[in-house]
Amino acid sequence: MATAETKGRRARILVVDDSSLVRLYYLSALEKAGFVVEQAINGIEATEKVLDQDFDVLIVDVNMPGMDGISFVKDLRRRNEDVAALPVLMITTEAGEQDFADARAAGANYYLVKPVSEADLIRHVSALAGWAR
């Protein structure tokens, strides 16, 4: 059964997506499931929050204006800090092999295709939060 607890406390999730509607959708689903959720509108705000606070899982949309999700994750993996190892769930609109390969190559741990159901979201986030132990 999916659990929102990790290390004996509620897992903290950062949602990175330029769409406020999508962020709201994930936020409602995640909070209902017992996670603590923060949001970021772009890679820069996300970088700031990731360096300021502890997170267990990042959910990152691929298609963001300014700094796309793949570039953001690549940049994260380049940093010589704990953040480089943060579990990342990448969300994209394509189901092709190349996108999956690109996401993995950038350093994403898992990959979901939009539209994402609440159940799929919770299941994958819970699994990644468990890996953060």
Partner 1 sequence: MSPHERPVAASVTVTADDVQRLCEFLYRRTGMLFDGSKRYYIDRRLTERILATRSNRFDEYFAHLRSDAEHEIEHLINAFTVNETYFYREDHQLRCMTSNLLEDIVLRRSSDEPIRIWSLPCSTGEEPYSIAIWLMENWPAVDRYDIEIVGSDIDTRALKAASEGIYGERALMRLTKSIRERYFRPLPDGNLQIDPGLRDSIRFTKANLIETPSMNEYRNIDIVFCRNVLIYFDDASRRMAAENIYDCLRPGGYICLGHSETMSRISSLYQVCRFPDAIVYQKPEADDGNR
Partner 2 sequence: MPLIKRGNPLPTETKAPGVTGSPVGDLTSPDVDVRWRAVRGLSPDPALVAPLAKALQGETVPRIREAIITVLMRIGDETSVRVLLPYLRVQDASARTAAIDALRAMPDATLPFMTALLSDADTDVRILAAELVRGMPAAQATSLLVALLERETHPNVCGAAVEVLTELGTPDALPALQGCADRFSDSPFLPFAISHAITRISRAGG
> CB under 8 Å to 129, separation ≥6 — which residues?
3, 4, 6, 11, 13, 35, 56, 57, 87
Binding string, 71-110, against partner 1, x = CB under 8 A? xx--x-----------------------------------
Give the SS3 label for residue 29.
helix
Q: Is 67 in the site for partner 1 (CB under 8 A)?
A: yes
128 binds, among partner 2, partner 1, none (CB under 5 to 8 A by kind): none
Q: Is 27 in the site for partner 1 (CB under 8 A)?
A: no
Give the H/E segment covering residue 49.
Answer: helix 43-52
Q: Which of 81, 104, 117, 131 binds partner 2 (CB under 8 A)?
A: 117
Question: What is the Cα gyration radius of the chain?
Answer: 13
Q: How many helices (H) and strands (E) does the chain have?
A: 5, 7
Q: Which of 34, 42, 118, 132 binds partner 1 (CB under 8 A)?
A: 42
Binding string, 65-104, against partner 2, x = CB under 8 A? xxxxxxx---------------------xx---xx--x--
- According to DSSP, residue 114 is labeled S
Q: Which of 5, 7, 32, 44 binds partner 1 (CB under 8 A)?
A: 44
